[in-house]
Chains A and B, each alone.
Chain A
C-alpha cells in the first residue's frame, strides 16, 4: 500500500497541497491530477479516497489503512468509490451515464462518494459534456478526481472547474540512479529513464526478450531508412509489423524511434551529455553526417504526427507505411 510519506519524496508540492486541504478540511469538489506517466497520480488518488472514507478519527492526512473502508478501497470493492477507466480507446458516454446515475442515488453506506476517472483526456466529446454537468452542480459530499497525462487535450470547461494539481515528472537523474541500483545495465537504464517507466515496469522489461528484440529492430529500421540503397518499406513489412502488434507495442516502437532522432539532434548540437543511446555513439556519429539537423527535426515531426494518427484510429499498417516513406532517404 502506498503512503503519503513515500509520495512526498517524489512529489513534494502536490502532496503537500493535498495534505493541507485534508488537514484543514478544505476539500475541493473536483481535482485534476496531471503529470507524466509513473508520477504517482493513481497512488495519490487512492490515498485521498482512503483518507476521505477512513473510519479512524485522526487529524493527520494519513489514512489508517487498516479499517474496512481503507482495505476495500485498496482492493476496489468499496461501493461508494468508483473507478472509471477507458473502455478500449476512450471513455464512452455509457460509462459517464453510469456515473450520472450513481450521483442521483444516495450512497450505499454513507452519503460520501468519490469517483476517480483515469486517463480523463480520453473521454469522448459526449462523455466530457455529460460529466461537465456534475462538475457544475457538485453534490455536497462528492469528490471527483480526474487523472490525466495530457491536460491540454481536455476541454477548457472541465479544466476550469477542477482544482489542478501538477505532478512533476520524476527527476531524471534520480530515476536513473535508482534503476542502476536495481542492477539494470547503464544503457538500458538510460532508455528506461527516457521512457519514464516506473520501477516495477522497468524490472519487468529488463529481462523481457521481446524488449531486447524491439530495441534491435528499431535500430535496424533506422539503418535502413537512412541508407538510400536499402528498402525500409520492405523491412517494415517483413520484420517491424510482426514484432510490434498491439497498439501499445506500436506506440513503444515509435517512442524508441523518437529517441534515435532526438539523439541525432543532440549530437548536432554537440550535447553529447544528453545522448540517451550511449552504447551507439559510433552509429550516431555516422548518422549525423547523413542527416542534417533540419531533416532530423522534420522526421521527429513526422513521428509525432504518426502517433496522433494512431490515436485517432488510422489503420496501424497504413500509418506506419506512411511514416517509413517519409523517413526514407
Chain B
C-alpha cells in the first residue's frame, strides 16, 4: 500500500476515529487504526467493539485534491502514536506506505517514521449493512431526539436493557423511548413518506453509544442515513460512518405505563417552573432522593416546598396559567423534573396528574403527542 495524502485531511479523519478507540481494550488488534486505501478513497476505521467509527477521505472534493497518489492496500497501525506523529510532521503532504511484512513508513519532507503494523485480516469484520433497509433523518433532528430521550436511560446494570434507548419505526412513525423505571422520556416524529416503508420494533441502542454519536455529528441540515441489522445499527453521513452494537433482549412494553386519563391538570410556564423547583431543591440536594413537594392551592397557585430536617425548609408560591380538576399533594425527585422540563424545551407545558401515588406526565401545550415525559412520584409521609 502507498498513499500520498494531505496532512490536515488525514489528521481530521484520525481524530474522528480516535473517538472510538479505547486505551484499555482486551482485544489487542483494537488498539490500532485500520487504514484501507482504494483508487477512489482512503478509509480509516477505529473501534472499541461497542462502537466503530469509519472516516472516509475522498480522492478529491470540489476540485480540491486530497489524495495525490494511491497504491491500494490495507494495514492496521498502532493508534497510540499516530495522531502525534501526523500532527507534528513538517510538510503538508504525507506519504504512508507499507510493505508485505506489514512495516509501515510515514514520510513527510525529510522526516521519516517506521512503525510496526498489524495484519488487517485480524481486524473485526464489520457486517455489510444492507442499504435497502434504511431511512434518512436530518442531523440536527437526530441530535434533538437523542438529547430529549438519552438522559433518561438507566445507569445501573441491574436491568441492562434499560441502559439503552428503544427505537421503534412503524407506519412511518419513529418513536424513541428511554426509561430507568423511575421516569420515562418518549419522543415521536413522523417521517417523510419513503418509497418502501420499513419497520422495526425491538432495536435498543446503548445510551453510551448515542452520547458518542451526538458528539461526533456536526450540527447541520445534512441528512444521516440510518440502517439497521440484527446486531448493529449504522449511522452514515457523507464521510463518517458510525456503527454501534445493540443491546440484546426485549425492551419492556412501555405504552401501558402512560396513563390515558387525568384527574388534575396544570398549565404553567416551563421556565418559571424550572427555576422554582431548582430553588426549592437547593436544600434537598444533600438528601439522597432530592425530593420536592408540590401542592395545588386556590386561584391557580402552586406551592412548592422542600424539607430536610437537619438543614431547614424552602417554600415558594408559583402562579400558573390554570389548574383544573381535583386538589393534589404530590412529592417527586426534583432532578427528574428539571431534566424532563429541559428536554421538552417549550414555553408552556402541561402536567397531568392522576393522584398522588400514580405517575404523572409532562407535555408541551402545543404539538401534543410528540414529546412526553413521565415521572413516578415518591411516597412521603
Contact = CB atoms under 8 A, between A and B. Distances in A.
Do chains A and B stick together as partners?
Answer: yes
A105 B249 CA distance: 9
A105 B247 contact: yes
A101 B209 CA distance: 13
B122 A72 contact: yes
Interface in A11-35: none
A77 to B, nearest CB: 4
Nearest to A98: B26
A76 B29 CA distance: 9
Nearest to A139: B248
B206 A105 contact: yes
Contacts of A104: 157, 160-161, 163, 247-249
A106 B248 contact: yes
Contacts of A76: 27-28
Contacts of A110: 231
A97 interface: yes
A109 B124 CA distance: 7
A79 B27 contact: yes
B227 interface: no
Nearest to A97: B157
A82 interface: yes
A307 interface: no
Nearest to B30: A79
Contacts of A72: 29, 121-122
B26 A68 contact: no
B354 to A, nearest CB: 33
Contacts of B247: 104-106
Contacts of B28: 75-77
A75 B246 contact: no
A86 interface: no
Contacts of A77: 27-29, 122-123
Nearest to B247: A104
Nearest to A107: B231
Interface in B45-90: 49-50
B231 A106 contact: yes
A108 B248 contact: no
A40 B200 CA distance: 46
B188 interface: no
A291 B307 CA distance: 78
Interface string B213-233: 000000000000000001110
A71 B122 contact: yes
A103 interface: yes
B125 interface: yes
A186 B229 CA distance: 62
A105 B121 contact: no
A100 interface: yes
B127 interface: yes
A249 interface: no
Interface string B243-285: 0011111000000000000000000000000000000000000
A276 B289 CA distance: 68
Given A71-B122, A77-B28, A108-B124, A100 B231 contact: no
A201 interface: no
Which bucket holds chain B's interface residue count?
20 to 34
Interface string B106-150: 000000000000000111111100000000000000000000000
Contacts of A107: 231, 245
A106 B157 contact: no
A111 interface: yes
Interface string A39-54: 0000000000000000
Nearest to B249: A104
B248 A103 contact: yes
Contacts of B123: 77
B127 A106 contact: no
Contacts of A71: 121-122
Determine which residue in A83, A98, A106 has the highest number of CB atoms from chain B within 10 A of its CB, and name it: A106
Nearest to A113: B248
Interface string A264-303: 0000000000000000000000000000000000000000
Nearest to A85: B26
A108 B157 contact: no
Contacts of B161: 104
Contacts of A78: 27, 124
Contacts of B246: 105-106
Given A76-B28, A101-B157, A109 B248 contact: no
B75 to A, nearest CB: 15
Contacts of B127: 109
B130 to A, nearest CB: 16
Interface in A62-92: 68, 71-72, 75-79, 82-83
Nearest to B232: A106
B231 A68 contact: no
A59 B245 CA distance: 31
A109 B230 contact: no
B26 A108 contact: no
A100 B157 contact: yes
A274 B65 CA distance: 80
Nearest to B244: A105
Contacts of A79: 27, 30, 49, 124
A78 B27 CA distance: 7
B243 to A, nearest CB: 9
Given A101-B160, A105-B50, 7 more contacts: A72-B122, A77-B27, A82-B26, A105-B206, A106-B231, A108-B49, A108-B124
16 contacts: A68-B125, A72-B121, A72-B122, A75-B28, A77-B27, A77-B122, A79-B30, A104-B249, A105-B206, A105-B246, A105-B248, A106-B246, A106-B247, A107-B245, A109-B124, A111-B231
The 8 closest A-B pairs by CB, nearest first: A104-B160, A106-B231, A77-B29, A79-B124, A77-B122, A105-B245, A106-B246, A79-B49
